Amino acid sequence: MSSDSPPLRPTLNFPPELLLRAQPVRVVFFDVDGVLTDGGLYFGESGETLKRFHTLDGHGIKLLQRAGITPAVVSGRDSLALRARLKALGVVHTRFGTEDKRPAAEAILAELGLDWSAAAAMGDDWPDLPMLRRAALACAPPTAHPELLALAHHVTQRLPGAGAVRELCDLLLVASGHYARELEAAAS
């Protein structure tokens, strides 16, 4: 960008009441299958689990970290592929192989010295309900179970494993005042 180029103007627009709800968020809990992935389960010939992740979602998680918002993962499954992806993204607050997600999330909240009033959660099925019911901001992808869609404060336009996580990240970045700054830095 040349020095005479005008600053970029963000094109994202979220409802004011949603931005107000998102402002106090300091930690966001993500489910994996059906949120960070498309929900399909892929198994190799040796029985290993294969997962497909989207780069938009990964970059959104990195942007959250730069903004001081902690990404956390609470998943009912565990796999080497998942652990490798989260390690590459620098996500350290994780719980794997747990169907009882509320105590797992509450342990992370305690580690961070936070409570549910500073938390967002994104899930797609019944095991995620305890997190979404307590979080200050509940989010779901459009393919989530109807009970989660009814509970969500925000249902993403993007599909799971295809930018849904990034959409929530962008919402949190706009609400925290970091989005425009990060956009301008990216365009420099």
What per-residue confidence (pLDDT) applies to 169?
A: 97
DSSP string of 78-129, one letter each residue = --HHHHHHHHHHT--EEE-S-S-HHHHHHHHHHHHT--GGGEEEE--SGGGH
Mean pLDDT, each 10-residue run in order, the chain (188 residues): 68 92 98 91 82 92 97 92 93 94 97 98 97 98 97 96 96 95 87
Question: 43: helix, coil or strand?
Answer: strand
What per-residue confidence (pLDDT) applies to 3?
A: 58
Label the pairing between strands 119-122 and 93-95: unpaired
Burial environment of residue 53 by CB neighbours within 10 A (0 to 12, 13 to 18, 19 or more): buried
pTM: 0.92
What per-residue confidence (pLDDT) applies to 1?
A: 47
Integer Rg of the chain from CA: 16
What per-residue confidence (pLDDT) applies to 155?
A: 98
Report d(CA 162, CA 146) in Å as an integer. Answer: 20
